[in-house]
Amino acid sequence: MAKKIASARISQSSSQLLQELNQSLPFDKLLYAEDIEGSIVHSAMLAKQGIISQDEKNEIHQALHQVKEEIEKGSFSLDGEDEDIHMAVERRVTEIVGDSGKRMHTARSRNDQVALDFRWYVQKHTLNLANLVKQNIQTLTKIAQNHTTTLLPGMTHLQHAQPINFGYHMMAYVSMFKRDYERLMDAYHRNNYSPLGCAALAGTPHPVDREFTSNELGFKAPTLNCLDTVSDRDFVLDILYNISVIMMHISRLSEELILWSTSEFQFVTLSDAHATGSSIMPQKKNPDIPELLRGKSGRAYGNLMGLLTVMKSLPLAYNKDTQEDKEGAFDSITTATLSLKVLDEMMEAMTINSDKMEQACMIGHLSATDLADYLVKKVGIPFRDAYHITGDAVNLAETKGLDISQLSIEDLQSIDSRIDEDVIALLDNRASMNARNSQGGTASVQTEKQIEVIREWLESL
């Protein structure tokens, strides 16, 4: 049996079970493009520094391009017995060009090689996720712009609280996604440093040029400390955390869409393209997409907790435990990418039933706080007294089967004679919504200002 590339010290053939446990090719083959490009830049640096000849570099480059083409055409399968993607690529390059291929790994370890491949992969997908988040921000902002005057019951404890506008509600999610975008970009800049050239853990005696490889690969600079670099997976934890928060925000919005699409609410109608039927009840239209999106947050949380647990006790430097860093990250990246795409598509196609929202504002005495504020400002009584007077008004409305905004001036004066007719206009739900004109509030004019801030921010990106 031919000796494996990375088995100089091992005299016996590996146990079959060890091979099954150790092999990462079935999942790290996703990194083939990053691995090949990293080897192209690494070998160019070796030639530049006189560590290998220009002819050897040219042969290596030609072979690497060939391997990439073979992988993408399917003529070179990545489902073989190679231990990982790095060994698979190196073996094939050596088959093509012989001894030149054996020189490709000079001044490099799989430790800095995998750190480069995976970091570069994460960086690319961080930018992709940021763009998808930005697209959702644009869509939600457009919805908000169309509904700055559409009344909606604002809730606390899932109970009707105060009247707001639907655009304002959408801008709350825009604010969440804006933070998600900023977290992704912060992580991108924090992690944009090249591991290549760190070798196993302590650098290399070869005269490598890490600035050259860093620049060629598009990083800001080489990493500072090689011991940290080869064992660092903070960049993976960053994207897993960021995805977990994104999925939490998606889950919160999904929960509201599920509620709003019920017969009890009827605030929104999901398009038929984004709903499913029942196998037994022909009348059903199920909100499967938001339900799936809500559920997928659990996958993202699990992947984050899994890697945190793997990393919590690892001594410096590299340990094989960190092979567990990839499958969860691949899964979370795929999950978040699909989730953001389908959420955006679903929100674009959703019908908003403004009349149902406004009807719901007549339930729950949403303008009750306005009566209390009126008593404080107009009559000059302490808020706590005004609070109790307002409670009496709510009780009266309940006995009459009315909303507080429907009480007559006679009804209100029967509770407190200091109340004047001007309060009637203030108890109107739309007036109540627009009365909250403080910065960041729900008044239509404030919602418009929030939309303008987001649009200016989007234009600045």
Same domain, 135 and 91: no
> Is 278 known to be catalytic?
yes
Instruction: Report the CATH number that the domain containing residue 381 is assigned in CATH.
Output: 1.10.40.30
Last residue of a domain, one of 43, 71, 106: 106
> Is 189 known to be catalytic?
no
Looking at residues 416-425, what average pLDDT do you find? Answer: 95
- Decide: 91 and 77 in contact? Cβ < 8 Å: no
Instruction: Report the CATH number that the domain containing residue 299 is assigned in CATH.
Output: 1.20.200.10
How many distinct structural domains can be found in the chain? Answer: 3
pLDDT of residue 283: 84
Q: Would 461 be classed as within a structural domain?
A: no
Q: Would 11 be classed as within a structural domain?
A: no
- Decide: 184 and 177 in contact? Cβ < 8 Å: no
- Kindly tell me the number of DSSP H helices and DSSP E strands found in the chain: 20, 6
Same domain, 347 and 381: no
Please write the tens of the pLDDT for every residue from 291-316. 999 999 999 999 999 999 999 999 99
Burial of 3 (0-12, 13-18, 19+ CB in 10 A): exposed
pLDDT of residue 6: 57
Same domain, 402 and 428: yes
What are the C-alpha distances in Å from 254 to residues 160, 215, 249? 19, 42, 9
Same domain, 327 and 274: yes
Same domain, 338 and 390: no
* DSSP three-state, residue 151: strand
pLDDT of residue 208: 98
Same domain, 283 and 146: yes
Q: Which of 157, 263, 417, 460 is catalytic?
A: 157
CA distance 40 to 389: 78
* pLDDT band, very low/low/confident/very high, at 226 (cuts 50, 70, 90): very high
pLDDT of residue 107: 98
Nearest in space to 249 (alpha carbons), one of 140, 174, 183 = 174
Looking at residues 407-423, what average pLDDT do you find? Answer: 96
* pLDDT band, very low/low/confident/very high, at 284 (cuts 50, 70, 90): confident
> Is 32 or 379 the better-scoring residue by pLDDT?
32
Same domain, 327 and 302: yes
Same domain, 396 and 294: no
Same domain, 342 and 450: no
Looking at residues 256-278, what average pLDDT do you find? Answer: 94
Last residue of a domain, one of 326, 358, 390: 358
Looking at residues 220-242, what average pLDDT do you find? Answer: 98
Same domain, 289 and 384: no
Please write the tens of the pLDDT for every residue from 193-218. 999 999 999 999 999 999 999 999 99
Same domain, 308 and 244: yes
Q: Would 5 be classed as within a structural domain?
A: no
pLDDT of residue 2: 45
Question: Which run of H or of E encompasses 162?
Answer: strand 159-165
Q: Would 4 be classed as within a structural domain?
A: no
Residue 101 is part of which domain span? 20-106
Number of residues assigned to the chain: 461
Last residue of a domain, one of 337, 358, 379: 358
Task: Report the amino acid identity of residue 247.
Answer: M
Instruction: Report the CATH number that the domain containing residue 92 is assigned in CATH.
Output: 1.10.275.10
Q: Which of 7, 77, 271, 278 is catalytic?
A: 278
Task: Report the amino acid identity of residue 210.
Answer: R
Same domain, 316 and 352: yes
